[in-house]
Structure 1
Amino acid sequence: MLNRTDRRDGRRENENRAEMGRGLSSEDRSTADNTVETAGWLRFFKSNYRCSHLDLIEVNAAGTKKLETARYIINPYVQPYRTWAIFLHFLVVYSAWICLYEVGFVEVVKGDLAILDNAVNAFFLIDIILTFFVAYVDQSTGEVITEKRVIASRYIHSNLLNDILSTLPSELIRMVIPTEPFIVSLLSLVRLYRLRRIDIFFAGLEKDSNRNYVSVRCVRLIAITLFAAHFAACIFHVIGKKHVEKNGRSWLQEVPINSGVLYRYVLSLYWSITTLTTVGYGDYSPVSSEEMIFTIIYMIFNLSLGAYLIGNMTVLTVDRTRRTKEYRDNTDRAIKFARKNGLTMECREQILNSMQLTYRADSVGFEYEDIIKNIPRALKKPILFSLFSEIVKKVYLFENVSEEFLFQLVAHLKPRYYPENEKVILFNEPPAEFYIINSGEVGLIADPNGTTYDEKLVDGDIIGEIGVLCNRPHRFTAKTMVMCKLLWMDRISFLDLIKTSIPDGSIILENLFEYMRKNRNKTVAENGLKYFKYLLGRGKSDLPLSLHFALNIRDYVLMQKLLKDGLNPNETGKNGVSILQTAVVTGDKDCLLLLLEHGADVNHCDIEGSCPLWEAIQKRDEDIISLLTDYGANFVNSENVSSYACKAIKYQNMELLEDIVKYSGDLSRHKGMSAPREMAMALGNVKFISFLIKSGVNPDIATTDELGSGKPDKRPIVVVSPPPSKHMTGIASGSRTYTETAMGKRPVTLSSSSTFDPSAASTSASAGPGIDWTGRRFYIRVIISYRDNQIIRSLVVLLPRSLEELLRIGGQKFGFNPIKVLTKEGFLIDDIKVIRDGDQLFLSDDR
């Protein structure tokens, strides 16, 4: 919603932005209005209720309950102000009734009636003041105006004068204009101007989808009728009263002299209603010429009012019965058509059942076509996606397709209702469309003359997809077993949609092929597979084909044809996996050779770093490895050699590691090769470490220390036992050295010298950084604490190499000279080797 604020140069600026659509240019305003409506439309379709008929400006404004207004500006759509407006509507009804009553039956307004009138006028005076601060909607632009100067100017030039005149008390009018009380009462009729509020109120109720339109319209017509009768009764009485005061003839002469005001009001209203309804009993009738003239004018007015009432009631009645009449007319025409053309009784019943189901669906609010066609296209897609996406995702044909494709697909789906025992698809019918079962059950009959169901389909199943994709007549008859709601889409639109998204089209074809291959005994797929291969082999398919699809169905001829037609031999699929890498994984050597001959990149890596040669080495397929290497596959320029080597060491596979080194060239040229060496040292496998060092891996650890100095870390590496794994079998028992400590068996450290010697390992299991079994560096952290006057001060530090160094660090941090280290239970620690990662230590200077 747009908002206009005050600026020094007088220009408009969209500064306050509402939740949807605000802050847009005039060209984009219609798009913003459509966006505001989306939530309401979704609620309508999900609940199948009728939509609101509010225009865009009113819908947009009414939805802006959180409108950001300037200071002292009232948002007209907040609940407090709406409650105030409804309260004023009751005062308007009272004011309109009492001002006519005072003219006709009260000579001088005084006493309690005057106090009540002044109280009502006071409320309207407050409303006049508030109106200077209430934002309003500019009907020409749809802007919410919140500028004080503009609001005041609009009110001054429109309704201010009439509102002030209608608020003036009768006592003040008599003081300013000393005249007869009757003239003063006539001047008070200006209060009828307030009735414009009631007209606006009823107009809003008629547009409110939460209110019954017929009921609101009837209440409005009744209110107009009663007000006209009240108006005529008051005027007719005042004319007769003036004649009686002048000793003239009047209809009031037939009324008892001592009758009260209420009795005379009832008689006047009785005369007004009998005249309005053209009954005219004649017991009370005009006598004087003035009364007759007024009666003539009133009867002419009644003709117009009667025509207005009858016309409105006719429209309401006809509108409620229009669909029934259309249904009856269509049914009669269908019956005449069936009789004239000699259709069988079965065909007649199917026609009538279909028409009856359509009428019933429309009667309960399923007017899909009537509603959807009037919604902007930008709003249709999110609405339809919320309606149909869940059922479409259940269809096997659309498994693993992208959300974007589903978003486009559901925009073309249309619902259609079928009664029980209705034929949806006929045997040998051309494939014009396919159907998705939203609800109900559909049976398939393979025999053209049969009546027994060979297969039953339920919610989420699809009908006719093979015929649509293979462009062949349907080889079955589909018939509803119960009342069904089906989603259908025509073949041309579906093929056009597939052609705009080649990857999703390939997935759909693979899903179809896989379904036909797994369900050869089913009615739908029995003959479809052979015909599908027949079309693909001769290139007669209208579908966009890919190399991945040809590989998945193991069709060498189709792949050869696609490559000859110019398809890219480096075609990639999900996660950047190339078609060549997929061929290696599947072991299809014919397709692999065909791709290599057409120039496929043998060293292409996917986003996870895997390449065709690496996949072949892991499979230990010497034929494929030889074929790839003949076409130049190697790891010389690969950036993933280190990760390959880590995997080989992790699974203790020396053959795999030897192949990596074999196809990598000089390992000293590859980055990150210290990680495999460190992992091998963490596992304590002398054979792997020696092999890596002999293959050119730098024996020094090229990682930075915990201080971030960037210099090589020359400290010993702590070997931490890896968790048990099924992949870590065959490790020599002597490849790992343990030392007995107070804490039990603990792994020893290994020196980082160029020659690996377990005997040279240090026994300081806690000194400095460590390497875990995955090759990642870690540090032992401890919490040192100091009790200072019942306050415990704590600090997290890295564990140094000795207790003396730990005491020195604690003294510097806490500002005292500690002499011993204690556990949190109070036990003395005399060896740093018993300290573990995460321990809490207390420093003490108590000797």
Structure 2
Amino acid sequence: MKINKQTYYYIWRIIVSIAISVFSILFPLAMIFDWATYFNTPIYWVIHIIFALDLIISFDQNKRMNDDEVFGRSYSVKKYVRGWMIPDILVSIPICFLINIPILESVKFIKFLKVGAFMKNLRQHEIQYTNTLILIFSLFWFLHALHNLACVWLALFGIDENLNQISNYVNSIYWTATTLTTVGYGDIVPSTNMQKIFTIFMELLGVGLYGIVIGNIASILTKKDPAQAEYTENIDRLTALMKIRNIPKDLQQRLRDYFTYKWKNRHGYDESEFLMELPNSLSREVAIHLKKDYLSNIEIFKDVSEEFLQEMALSFRSVIYTPGDCIFEAGDDGDCMFFVIKGTLDVTVKGKSIAKIKEGDLFGEIALFMNTKRTATVRADTYCDLYRLDQSACKRVLDRFPHIAKKIQSIAKKRSDELV
């Protein structure tokens, strides 16, 4: 499986986020509990290696950028040099190893700004996972704030010599959590002015921070998918209309079944309308992706150019028929053809069923290409998802590819002769 550049970018940014998260957890604890050995451990050096690599990768990434149509690559490099390059250099330096002033290592917290930018970028590009990402990011920031504020609490309130390091840390987390969430049991109380000022700050911060987390969770739980909202709205409008107009009950049920089928199978979206809203180049790519498997199975479209298939893919419209619907009758003009995506249809001649059309089958093409009348009637046995190609759209494409048009008409005539 081929992995694109965007995926590599995400993986690397996640690695950097993990590195700064580990630093954010261990550094405050090392300062509080005087872990002098932390600054000589392998994990300390691994974090700095990751930060150094991030400096190189970020510079190279900006150097390779070519999607800025106005300013180009040189602008991207200058923008990085003037912006993130100096902070990235400072973060990658093992300060404590060089000058042995541990507090200066706190400059690495600036890396969280880059993590925040990555999270914003991820939300913008992975829209389908927005709710999940909001929840994960909210918990990420809340837990980091909880840990670091707990370490500040330890620095201000002091370490209880009667307890081990784990118990001291658990007490600090307990006090910070109860204060941030505005619970505040009162079993641990501030005594000095500095402790009281910090407690006031924590209470004010907790109102906002806790509110953001709870607000995001509530928003996710109450937020409706746009397609589901449209489905619900259609059902409500339909119910109101049926009450006002006294629509027969059997027709009411058919209408409900139609909207339910459309919701379950298409999630309320109209493929043709969606393609029309896209720029021409994107519309072509999406259309060929959605329909290439179907087009490649159509005998009359085999061994044709990619450009022709793209034009045909754009010309096919997605339609739905309900059980019992007549697609066309014998004697009708051959003004369109169909490809079955899902469902079963019945072919009848003079009221007698002669064949079944199922998923993956093509029908109506001979009358369309030979410009003749329909020789049979086709009705939907079940709900049917079809691709429809109208005569006008077909003619427009064939006029652009006259050599392919002759080939298709020849194949259609041959198939017509075989059926006689």
Q: For this structure pair, what is the TM-score category when the shorter chain's length is used for normalisation?
A: 0.7 to 0.9
> Pick from 54, 64, 68: which aligns with 1:141?
68
Larger helix share, 1 or 2: 2
TM-score (norm 1): 0.41
Q: For structure 1, which runs of at least 5 residues remain unmatched after alignment?
A: 1-38, 44-58, 64-76, 175-183, 242-251, 521-847
Distance in 1 (CA, whole Å) between partners of 2:140 and 2:402 is 65
SS in 2 for 1:487: strand
> Pick from 390, 396, 403: which aligns with 1:496?
396
**Residue equivalent to 2:340:** 437
Offset of residue 412 of structure 1: 0.5
Asked whether the 8 Å contact 1:121–1:168 carries over to 2, the reply is: no
Q: Where does 1:236-255 land on structure 2 (aligned, <5 Å)?
A: 236-241=153-158
CA shift digits 1:716-747 (9 cap, x unpaired) = xxxxxxxxxxxxxxxxxxxxxxxxxxxxxxxx
**Residue equivalent to 2:38:** 113
**Residue equivalent to 1:408:** 311
**Residue equivalent to 2:49:** 123
TM-score (norm 2): 0.75
Distance in 2 (CA, whole Å) between partners of 1:118 and 1:382 is 48
- Flag the 1:513–1:156 CA change in 2: closer, same or farther, 3 A: closer
**Residue equivalent to 2:385:** 485
What percent of counterpart residues are identical? Answer: 16
SS in 2 for 1:411: helix
Offset of residue 275 of structure 1: 1.7
Distance in 1 (CA, whole Å) between partners of 2:251 and 2:330 is 16
Asked whether the 8 Å contact 2:329–2:376 carries over to 1, the reply is: yes
- Flag the 1:386–1:144 CA change in 2: closer, same or farther, 3 A: same
Decide which structure has the larger Cα Rg and report it: 1
**Residue equivalent to 1:457:** 357
**Residue equivalent to 2:26:** 98
Offset of residue 192 of structure 1: 1.0
Distance in 2 (CA, whole Å) between partners of 1:391 and 1:131 is 42
**Residue equivalent to 1:196:** 113
Q: Where does 1:10-49 land on structure 2 (aligned, <5 Å)?
A: none
- Flag the 1:481–1:286 CA change in 2: closer, same or farther, 3 A: same
Distance in 2 (CA, whole Å) between partners of 1:91 and 1:301 is 26
Offset of residue 487 of structure 1: 0.8
Asked whether the 8 Å contact 1:421–1:479 carries over to 2, the reply is: yes
Asked whether the 8 Å contact 1:437–1:461 carries over to 2, the reply is: yes
Asked whether the 8 Å contact 1:131–1:155 carries over to 2, the reply is: no
CA shift digits 1:376-415 (9 cap, x unpaired) = 433544554465456457668x479954655432321123
Distance in 2 (CA, whole Å) between partners of 1:113 and 1:122 is 13
Distance in 1 (CA, whole Å) between partners of 2:80 and 2:292 is 50
**Residue equivalent to 2:178:** 274
Distance in 2 (CA, whole Å) between partners of 1:134 and 1:401 is 43
Q: Where does 1:236-635 land on structure 2 (aligned, <5 Å)?
A: 236-241=153-158, 258-318=162-222, 321-363=225-267, 368-369=271-272, 372-373=275-276, 375-381=278-284, 384-385=287-288, 388=291, 391-392=294-295, 398=300, 403=305, 405-418=308-321, 420-425=323-328, 433-445=336-348, 453=353, 455-458=355-358, 459-463=360-364, 466=367, 478-501=378-401, 519=419
- Flag the 1:288–1:486 CA change in 2: closer, same or farther, 3 A: same
Asked whether the 8 Å contact 1:441–1:457 carries over to 2, the reply is: yes
Distance in 2 (CA, whole Å) between partners of 1:514 and 1:114 is 82
Q: How many equivalent residue pairs?
A: 414
Q: Where does 1:756-767 land on structure 2 (aligned, <5 Å)?
A: none
Offset of residue 274 of structure 1: 1.1
Asked whether the 8 Å contact 2:365–2:412 carries over to 1, the reply is: no
- Flag the 1:334–1:519 CA change in 2: closer, same or farther, 3 A: farther
Offset of residue 356 of structure 1: 1.7
SS in 2 for 1:436: strand
Distance in 2 (CA, whole Å) between partners of 1:271 and 1:385 is 59
SS in 1 for 2:339: strand
Offset of residue 141 of structure 1: 1.6
Q: For structure 2, which runs of at least 5 residues remain unmatched after alignment?
A: none
Q: Where does 1:603-682 land on structure 2 (aligned, <5 Å)?
A: none
Question: Relative contact order (alpha carbons < 8 A, sep ≥ 6): 1 or 2 greater?
Answer: 2
Letter in 2 for 1:327: Y
Which is worse superposed, 162-171 or 411-420? Answer: 162-171
SS in 1 for 2:318: strand
CA shift digits 1:441-474 (9 cap, x unpaired) = 3114567xx7x645533443323874898698x7
Offset of residue 203 of structure 1: 4.9
CA shift digits 1:656-680 (9 cap, x unpaired) = xxxxxxxxxxxxxxxxxxxxxxxxx
Asked whether the 8 Å contact 2:345–2:380 carries over to 1, the reply is: yes
SS in 1 for 2:315: coil
SS in 2 for 1:313: helix
Distance in 1 (CA, whole Å) between partners of 2:378 and 2:249 is 20
Offset of residue 273 of structure 1: 0.8
